[in-house]
Amino acid sequence: MSLIKNRKLITGLFVFFLGFNASVYAEKTSKIDSAVNTEKALEAKDVVLLFQDTLLGVMKKGAELGFKGRYQALEPAIVKSHDLAKVARIVVGKEWKSFSQEQKQKLNEVFSRLSIASYAHNFKGFSGESFEYLSEDETARGGRIIHSVFVLPEDKNVKFDYMLKKKAGNWLIINVIANGVSDLALKRSEYTSILKREGFEALIAKISEKIDNYTNQ
């Protein structure tokens, strides 16, 4: 299975998932919409467990959906359940303050597309994988870390630590640490280096190139 063959792909990914067909998607989005519209929002643990459950659904339907179908199924999950604007801001560091409003909007757009495309490309098959919840910790600044294991029948298991922060009363994933490697840290190192050496347009071009590669493979 392509997901298992290259473990670097697992290490470098955010877990952005929700719904893969009409019935499952409607049920799960109903839960989130209901939580948003009431005083009691989803707990951090529930956010992660919901994503993991629906990710497996996408994987099981991967071949049937194709890249475009997987992309369309994952897009609403990213919008609803991750603070991508904050993540984009973090990964470019202090350079964010020097961007114009147009540049900020452009970065947010391509970063969101990259996040969806990477999952649509890499999580496209199922070979009996499953997730196991381990525990939950509170950070010093009031965030949450959800610890879990991605069980791979044909490979070594992967430990996922999901970092969440509250925004407008809802828990949102802002980072995923896979086997001790932070996706946020990897992207920040790469993006800030490109910005310093080549500038903003070069960064956008490199991100767009990655999106094209995911789309066409």
Residue with tokens 């067909």: 21
pLDDT the model gives residue 108: 95
Question: Which range in 19-28, 48-57, 149-158 is most confidently predicted, on average pLDDT?
Answer: 149-158
Burial class (CB in 10 A: 0-12, 13-18, 19+), 141: exposed
Give φ, ψ of 147 to 5 degrees.
-100, 130
Question: Which has more confidence, 83 or 145?
Answer: 145
Across 2-16, 120-134, 136-150, least confident range: 2-16
Domain boundaries, given as residue ranges, for the chain: 2-216
pLDDT the model gives residue 52: 86
Average pLDDT over residues 39-53: 86
Three-state DSSP class for 40?
A: coil
Give the separation between CA 67 and CA 96, rounded to whole angstroms: 32
pLDDT the model gives residue 8: 42
pLDDT in tens, 177-196: 999 999 999 999 999 999 99
pLDDT the model gives residue 118: 86
Across 3-12, 32-41, 134-143, least confident range: 3-12
pLDDT the model gives residue 35: 47
CA neighbours closer than 13 Å in the CB half-sphere of residue 17:
26
pLDDT the model gives residue 122: 80
**Quick check: 142 and 166 in contact, CB under 8 A?**
yes
pLDDT in tens, 49-74: 888 888 888 889 999 999 999 898 88
pTM: 0.79
pLDDT the model gives residue 54: 81
The architecture (CATH level 2) of 2-216 comes to Roll (3.10)
Give the separation between CA 75 and CA 19, rounded to whole angstroms: 10
Give 105's pLDDT tier (boundaries 50, 70, 90).
very high
Question: Which of 54, 57, 70, 83 has its CA nearest to residue 169?
Answer: 83
pLDDT the model gives residue 99: 97
Q: Where are the beta strands (DSSP E) in the chain?
A: 130-138, 144-151, 158-167, 170-178, 181-182
